[in-house]
């Protein structure tokens, strides 16, 4: 009796197992078929999509890339322009008084003024708040520029000697220096001043050493001094 029941139970398990196995096979087959059908439907949908829409998508991508390139170029150009402007603003040019007389550099342009401290032009004073103030004239021979400087002048600062001042030229023609550099040496001449003397004809290096600094403001152009005198008219 017990064995008969066990055999029936085993048969039931076997039958159920066969049924579940067959059912699993059918489910896997249906799943594969469904996946293939879905993939086929997607491919058919892509094939049925209008060609114009694909072209529009590609064109919009090209436009985006073009705009990115244009914006990058504009940004690079702006950065370059700003860098050049800052670099130009930081440049400090050297000008002699004759250069300033020929062309005003502008009230906001900082530059170096070089030449000779004109003899008898130095005046020392004090500002209302007690700071030392010096006024003098810088000349290169044909022209002279008045200079004012608030502060202590260098120990080597002398009249009749070369000087280089850093500052700005005001609309009133007064050069307001923020820094003054001087060197006390009778044979010393700033290279820029020497070039100014050459340009104005006050010094010819082929004819010897430059003239004494104390005589720069009384010099006449070498061409004028070397010009032959006109013959006197008869009867004069």
Residue ranges of the binding site for heme: 184, 188
Q: What residues have CB less than 8 Å from 203, skipping those under 6 apart? A: 194, 197, 210, 211, 222
Q: How far apart are CA 179 and CA 168, in angstroms?
A: 11
Q: How far from the centroid of its chain's Cα atoms is residue 28's Cα?
A: 72
Q: How far from the centroid of its chain's Cα atoms is residue 133's Cα?
A: 35
Name the pairing type of β-strands 175-182 and 123-126.
unpaired
Q: How far apart are CA 48 and CA 50, in angstroms?
A: 6
Known binding-site positions = 184, 188
Q: What residues have CB less than 8 Å from 93, skipping those under 6 apart? A: 105, 109, 111, 112
Q: What residues have CB less than 8 Å from 34, skipping those under 6 apart? A: none
């Amino acid at each position: 009796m017990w064995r008969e029941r066990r055999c029936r139970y085993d048969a039931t398990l076997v039958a159920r197992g066969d049924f579940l196995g067959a059912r699993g096979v059918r489910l896997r087959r249906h799943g594969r078929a469904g996946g293939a059908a879905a993939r086929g439907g997607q491919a058919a949908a892509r094939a049925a999509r209008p060609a114009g829409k694909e072209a529009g998508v590609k064109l919009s991508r090209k436009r985006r890339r073009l705009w990115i390139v244009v914006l990058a170029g504009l940004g690079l150009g702006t950065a370059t322009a700003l860098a050049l402007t800052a670099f130009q603003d930081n440049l400090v040019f050297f000008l002699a008084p004759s250069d300033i007389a020929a062309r005003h550099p502008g009230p906001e342009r900082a530059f170096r003024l070089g030449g000779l401290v004109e003899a008898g032009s130095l005046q020392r004073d004090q500002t209302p708040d007690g700071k030392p103030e010096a006024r003098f004239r810088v000349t290169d021979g044909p022209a002279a520029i008045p200079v004012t400087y608030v502060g202590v002048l260098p120990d080597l600062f002398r009249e009749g000697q070369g000087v280089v001042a850093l500052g700005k030229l005001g609309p009133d023609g007064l050069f307001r220096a923020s820094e003054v550099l001087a060197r006390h040496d009778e044979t010393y001449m700033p290279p820029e001043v020497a070039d100014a003397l050459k340009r104005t004809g006050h010094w010819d290096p082929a004819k010897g050493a430059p003239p004494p600094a104390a005589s720069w403001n009384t010099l006449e152009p070498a061409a004028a001094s070397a010009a032959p005198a006109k013959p006197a008219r008869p009867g004069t």
